[in-house]
Structure formats: C-alpha cells, structure tokens
Structure 1
Amino acid sequence: MIVYHFQCTAGQIMSVFPPSCAVFACSWTLAIHLLSFLLMTYSTAGNTRSPLVVLDQYEGSGIRLICKSEEVRSPELLQLSWIDGKGQELPATPATLSNSSIASSFLLEWSSGNAVSCRIINKSSKTSIGSTSLVIADIFFPSTSLCMVGFFVIAVLIIALIIVTILMLKQHRWTIALSENDLLALEEEKAHLKRVLEEEKSKVEEALRKAQEEFAKTMAELEFRRALSYAVDVTLDSKCTHPKLNIKEKNKVNYLGLGQKGLTGALIAVANEGYSSGKMYWEVEVKDKLDWELGVLTETARKRLEEEKLENPLEEGYVSIRWFGRQYHCAGGNSVINGQNEKCEVVGVFLDMDEEVLSFYNVHLMCPIQSIPAKFFEKMYPFFNPGNDDSFLGVRPIRIPPCLISL
C-alpha cells in the first residue's frame, strides 16, 4: 500500500496573512491549485501494479480524484473500489475499461473525511491485489471565510445607511419651513451629506482596489508555484557553444573575449537536454549582468548552429527574452515588453509544450515577467546568452519557497 499525505498547517498560513479579508478568503479557494501535479509512485504486487491516484480538479465543494491502473492483464476481470478511512466503500463512477487499463473517478468532499483508498479487486476471488491510499489535509478543502462574509455584510449595511440617509433627507425636506433661510440651511445640509457620501464611496473603492491587487498578486504566485513543480536539470553542451564562451561546472557560462572587437555569430550555449512534450521549468542566475538572453530553440536551428560552428547569428526557430538597455525584449530583441521592466537576479523559465507557451518569472518576487505563445512542432532546447561581460550566467538548483509567503 502507498499513502500520500499533503499538509500545510493553519499556523503557517495565518502567520503570513495580510489584513485584507478578501484575500484571506480567496487563498482558501485557490489552495487546491497547489495540488495540480500527478502522484506517480508505483509498487508491484504480482503481475498488477498499485493503481495511480490523480488529483484531477476542484469541483463544487470537493476534489475530483481519478484512480487508474495501466498495463494490466485482463482488465475485465478486475474492478476498482474506493474505501474511506473507516473501511467503508464509497460511491464512485463506473469503471472504464480499455485493452490494458481500468479507471474510475470519485468526488472527495470534506464531509466524507480526508482519507481515501483505491483498491484493485479480483472479481473472481474478491481479493485486493493492489491499493493506493491518499490523505489530504483539511486546509486544501474549500471553505467560506467569516472575514469575507463580514466584509460583504458591512458593505450591505453601508448601502442601507446611504439609502436611509437619503430617505430621511427627503422627509426632512418636506417638514421644514419654506422660508428662504430654511431653504438655504437645507441646501447646505444636502451638500454636506453629498460630501460625506463621496468620501465613503472613495474609501470603499480604495479598499476594493487594494483587494484586487492582493488577489492578482496571489494568483501570480500560485501560477509561479505551479510552474515550479515541473523543475528539471539542465546542463550545457560544449559542442554547441560559441568558441568565445567558457563553460564551468556543466551549467555555468561566461564570455572570454572581453575587450576584443569583431565578434560574430551566435554568442550562445545550447543545453544537452531537449524536450518534445510536457512541462519543464528551470532557473537561471543573471545577477547584475547588463545584457543577457534566455530562451529555447528548435532541433533544426540547433543542427544548423552545429554545422556552421555558431559563426552565424540566430535568425529563426527560437523564442527568447533578452535584457538590455534596462528593458526586457521578446523574440531576439524585436519588441519591448510593456509593464514589467524591473530587473531581477534570478529568472525562472517555464516551457509548456502542451499549452504551447514559454513563460518567464521573477523568482524573488514570484511574479511573471512575460509569457510568449509559440508553436512547438519539434524538440526544443534551452539556450543561454551571457552577454559580452566576463561574469557568469548559470542554471541553479531549484529552491522551494516557503508556503504561500505572499499571503
């Protein structure tokens, strides 16, 4: 049996929550997206492997789980059964069969407990021949924040107060004397009430604006953490590196021709690893370099560079981001990225072959720099341009940040 237990204590989260109630509530709803990865550990029991449990998606007030077992013999002789923490069988969707696999799904809700097991049962002998258990901490189930409820109650009370004030003003207007002095006092009172209402309106709008900013920041951090879960190792290929570049420790590179003139060709180092599908993430330390470029290029472009010994610059078959002139530029420096030109020391690169997009992140701020859509028809290879100074640009080991630090 294999048991997976995911837990992040409430104390860790409460210690970093800001005063904003709206963001506190949103964090509970978005926490489930931290589980958007697959549990891919197997164990062998006879000729059958323990089933694979996939945390599929947030659905209603629970989490949709999928249990599947692949590469099995005679799946029609097997059945999948969901069991809760007390050993009771749970209702699930009918199992689907194929030539060599069997799958079933189940909606796990907080009310049904946070422990569940998926078992493979032999129909003829009624015995379990494989099992995978999963325990999910209560924090990952969606819940309603009392703080958020209080926020909306206060907003409703403010609106009700405004309506009551206006009604009282109208009633008062009919009861006062119609003399000139009384009318003047009435106008002054109306003007005062109008100023008060405008001030209250401004306060509410400012609070909503701050809540939206915090929400956007939290969404960006969650997206960064999702990319972080696909970390891979990247090393540099000395056979596909410009002769004026020096490779150190397999994943660091710098420029050796400082002070020389007449530099030609593609001043880049290409990685050994290429990717044709899936999602990959790596981080690059650029520190205080004034000029650098990071991206991916096609296998065709890589072969052309090797044949030409990098004597000609890159012209097509690549997607990149470059920092020079205190600005970020896309696709080899053809366009300036608007809205995000804050220099960073560590850049995260996320290649999503399935969604066909290349994204870049400011690792220290855990926020996006730019996402570039692109068509990936062949294997893609990371490449690195350290610029024309002698400081190193290198791929660094992935460091997992503390739990939801921005909250």
Structure 2
Amino acid sequence: MGVFSSWKIQSLWNYFLPFLLMIHSTVGNSRSPLIVLDQYEGSGIRLICTSETLPPELQLLWVDGKGQELAAPATTTPGNTNIASSFLLQPGSGNAVTCRIVSKVTKISAGSTSVIIADIFFPSTSRWMVAFFMIAVLGMIVIIAIFCKLNKNRWKLALSDNERKATEEEIGRLNIILEKEKVVSQEALKEVQARYENTMAELEFRSAVSHAVNITLDPHCTHPKLIIQGKNRVKLNSSDSGQKDLKGTLIAVANEGFSSGKLYWEVEVGGRPFWELGVLAETVRKRLINERLEKPLEEGYVSIQWFQCQYHCTGGNSLTDSQNKECAVVGVFLDFEENMLSFYDVELMCLIRSIPVEFFEKMYPFFNPGSDEKYLGVWHMNSPPCLASL
C-alpha cells in the first residue's frame, strides 16, 4: 500500500477557485493509481481516480479509512486506455479515502493511493461573510432610503406655487367631505344607540308587566275624606276639595300585601297636578288603621310624587333622574329579589325612577289622589301569556 501524500494550502482563497490536485504514491509501483481533486460539488469534493494501461483482470476500488468498500463505478475515458472512477467525498465522513487497484477475482491489491482532506477545505459559509452580507444589505437599504428622501425633498421644492395651491385646495375639500361624513356617522351611531336603549327599556318594561297582579283598595285603611268606587278607584270627596287644611295621611291602602317575588300594577293618574304612589310596611298600615289615618306618614314607606311638574322620591334615593315628562298611566314594579321599587311610563314603555329598598316585612301598595276631583284608578291587569318566560 502506498504512503499518504501531504499537501499544503497556501491561502483560504482556494475555496473560491477551481483547483486540480494530483496525489501520487511514493512507492515505486508503476500501477499505483492517481487521485485528482476534481471540483466542489454541493457540500463535498469530487475525487477522480485514474490508472493507465490497466489489465482487464484488475479494477479500481474505493475504500474508506476503515477499509470498507465504497460503491463507485469505474469508467473508461473515450479515446485511450485510461480507467477512471469518481467518488464524492462528503464532510464528516472520515475525510480519508483510498483508491486501490485490485484483482477482480482474488481482491488482492496491486497498488493504492490515499488522500486525507481536512474539514477546513470543504465548502462552508463563513460567519464573517454572512455578517458582511447583512451589513452590505443594510447599507444598501439606508442608501436607497436616503436617496428616496432626497428625491422627495427635491420634488417638494420643485412644486410651483400654483400646484401647491391646487393641492391645498384639494386637501381642504377632502377635509370638508370628511367632516361631513364624520357628522353623518356620529348621528347614525347616536340613532343606533338610541334605538338600542329604547329596545332594552321596552324589554325591561315588558318583563315587569309579565308579573302583573290585581290590586283592590281597603276601605278600612282609607282616609275619611276619600271616596272609593268599585274597589279600585279613589278620589277626594267633592265637598272637601276646597278645604286647604286636610289633616292626616290622605291615602288609600290596598288589601293585598306582598313579601316576596316580583309584582307589577298600573295606576291611571290622568292630568292631575299632584299624585303619590308607593308601598308601605305592614306595621305602618296597622298604625294607620288604629289612628284612622289622622297622622301623616313619617317612616316605613317608599313613594314617588308628581307635583310642580316634576317627580320627587320619598323614603329612598332614586337611581335615575332623567325623566320628568308627565304621564297618564304609571306602572309600579315591586321586586323583592333585587330589592328595588321602579316606576314606568306605560305609554312610552320607559323607566321613570328606580328606588333601592331593603324589605324586612310585608309591603302594601298605597295611593294618594291629591285634591283633584278626578278618580285615580288602579287598572285591572291581565298578564300576557307570551311574557311569562321573561
């Protein structure tokens, strides 16, 4: 077997130049093959092993550093008797190969040449080259950006006064159109919001109506100056309507009392200048009966009053204070689950006031018709079946 040939690479620039290196065996054997480093191919190096005037019984065979055979077909160069075999050496595969001349029958070597190629000679991408490439690309981007900026400034300076004026007029016209579109969009948004709020208010109102109950007035808990008609209508006695000093609590209390659930009833208040609707505690109701309603209410009740063209809440603080429009029919919603007493404008199906209340005992509706001679009527309620699930 021949002795390894050694080569000294003078410069790393050999990576970028095609090269041809010939490796000879130092043994005085005329049949030692010649290994040529032909070219780079992908990430490896293409090796060619040649031998002149090789007898037919011999062949070229590639083996690695461990003596394992490497498959590589032998070819004959057209026009002469040279036998050549090529092999692609990949990095990391041992980097040592041997080309042998062996007998086709006995596999005995008649001559060989070996070569070792260090990893540094295989094609690879240098980190310095990547950094240089990135810097070059960034530099080109910066140069292009500066060039575009200079051209933009030069274009602005080249505009004539007439062109600048026309541009400003166009911008002004577009701004006017934009402002108009903005106003239209805002108005449309407000309209959608108003519709949404009205729809939610109507749903809330209809949900309250689904808990309707019928209310009747208790003659035994009604002020002596009031007249009850048909169990659900009350007004001031016409003979007393001119009196200015009406003492006591000028109200009529309902027969029905409630301590749980959700209850709703409606009252026709008409166009009277004063009225009062609310609920009072059972203990207050008993005291009023004992005193024949000769003393005014002081505590234990929650109500809403209409006078001086405004709504006024007593016995609690209202959560809403936006509706002061006079209404003809008032819906009263008593919610023990939410601890809330709410009043609705039935015609508009919107909330008038909501008053949070802590209920500790049974509550009774009460009604104050004021000094007007018209009847204040509690409507008979029929809960719509379709609202029972709300």
Q: Normalized against structure 2, the TM-score is what?
A: 0.56
Counterpart of 1:359 in structure 2: which amino acid?
A: S
Whether contact under 8 Å (1:227, 1:281) holds in the other structure is: yes
- Please state how far the C-alpha of 1:354 moved relative to its aligned partner: 0.9
Q: 1:337 Cα shift?
A: 7.0
Residues 327, 337 of structure 1: 8 Å contact kept: no
Change (3 A) 1:282 1:335: closer
In structure 2, the partner of 1:233 is: 214
Contact 2:318 2:354 in 1 (8 A): no
Match of 2:310 in 1: 327
Residue identity in the other structure for 2:325 = E
SS of equivalent residue, structure 1 residue 231 = coil
User: Taking CA–CA contacts closer than 8 Å with sequence separation of 6 or more, which of the two structures ends up with the larger relative contact order?
Assistant: 1
* Conserved 8 A contact 1:329-1:336: no
Is the counterpart of residue 280 in structure 1 residue 263 in structure 2?
Answer: yes
Q: Which residue of 1 aligns with 2:170?
A: 189
Deviation at 1:262, TM superposition (A): 2.0
Q: For 1:68-87, list aligned pairs within 5 A.
A: none
**CA-to-aligned-CA distance 1:117-145 (integer Å, 9 cap, x gap):** xxxxxxxxxxxxxxxxxxxxxxxxxxxxx
Which 4+ residue blocks in structure 1 deviate beyond 3 angstroms?
173-177, 332-338, 399-404
Q: 1:212 aligns with which of 183, 188, 193?
A: 193
Whole-angstrom distance in 2 between the partners of 1:269 and 1:285: 15
Q: Secondary structure of 2:184's match? A: helix
**Structure 1 unaligned residues grouped into runs of 5+:** 1-170
Partner of 1:249: 230
Flag the 1:178–1:372 CA change in 2: closer, same or farther, 3 A. same
Q: Say whether 1:260 aligns with 2:238.
A: no
Partner of 2:287: 304
Q: Work out whether residues 316 and 356 of structure 2, in 8 Å CA contact, stay in contact via their aligned partners in 1.
A: no
Name 1:342's counterpart in structure 2. 325
**Residues 403 and 237 (structure 1), Cα distance of their counterparts in 2 relative to 1, 3 Å cut:** closer
CA offsets 1:39-66 (integer angstroms, 9 cap, x no match): xxxxxxxxxxxxxxxxxxxxxxxxxxxx
Deviations 1:139-183 (A, max 9, x none): xxxxxxxxxxxxxxxxxxxxxxxxxxxxxxxx9x96895112211
- CA distance in 2 between counterparts of 1:280 and 1:286 reads 19
Report the AA paired with residue 228 of structure 2. I
Identity %: 62
How far does residue 346 in structure 1 lie from its aligned partner after superposition?
A: 0.6
Q: 1:307 to 1:395 in 2, by over 3 A?
A: same
The whole-number CA distance in structure 1 between the counterparts of 2:381 and 2:155 is 72
Judged with a 3 Å threshold, the aligned counterparts in structure 2 of structure 1 residues 329 and 249 are, in CA distance, closer, same or farther, namely: same
Which protein is bigger by CA-based radius of gyration? 2
2:338 counterpart of 1:361: no
Provide the rounded CA distance (Å) in 2 between the counterparts of 1:310 and 1:381.
Answer: 15
Q: Find the aligned partners of 1:332 and 1:215 in 2 and give their Cα distance.
A: 32
Please point out which of 158, 161, 174 is paired with 1:180. 161
For residue 261 of structure 1, give the secondary structure of its aligned residue in structure 2: coil
Counterparts of 2:326 and 2:384, CA distance in 1: 20
Q: CA RMSD in A?
A: 2.6
